[in-house]
Amino acid sequence: MLATFTVIPLGVPDGAKHLIAEALKIVDASGLSYQLGPMGTTLEGESGEVMQVVMQCHKRLLELAPRVMTSILIDERPGHTGRLKGKVQDVEELLGKPLRRE
């Protein structure tokens, strides 16, 4: 399973980046493959493990903020792994060149 998720803490006067860093500590400690992006984080793993990490992040931020909204986009294709990088590589192969990453 691939899951891209965004956890948004609300009602925090000093900005959210320090809280997002708290969530990324959980993601990093999970041992799952992940990619941090500017608008969310993508995890790859078994569905139960992925959803557990997402919920741990949500609950941790709820301890630190008065309100938290979490959105999740799931791509589940049983029997396929390595899709975190593979999906991008597939498109790059079709284009015949690597895509710009900044």
Assigned domain for 45 exists: yes
Range of the domain at 87: 2-95
The total number of structural domains in the chain stands at 1
Assigned domain for 100 exists: no
Q: Identify the pLDDT of residue 4.
A: 98
Assigned domain for 22 exists: yes
Assigned domain for 75 exists: yes
Taking the C-alpha atoms of residue 61 and residue 43, their distance in angstroms, rounded to an integer, is: 18
- Confirm whether pTM is higher than 0.85: yes
Beta sheet of 33-36, edge-to-edge order: 33-36, 41-44, 2-10, 67-75
* pLDDT, tens digit (0-9, with 9 covering 90-100), for 67-81: 999 999 999 999 888
CATH number for 38: 3.30.70.930
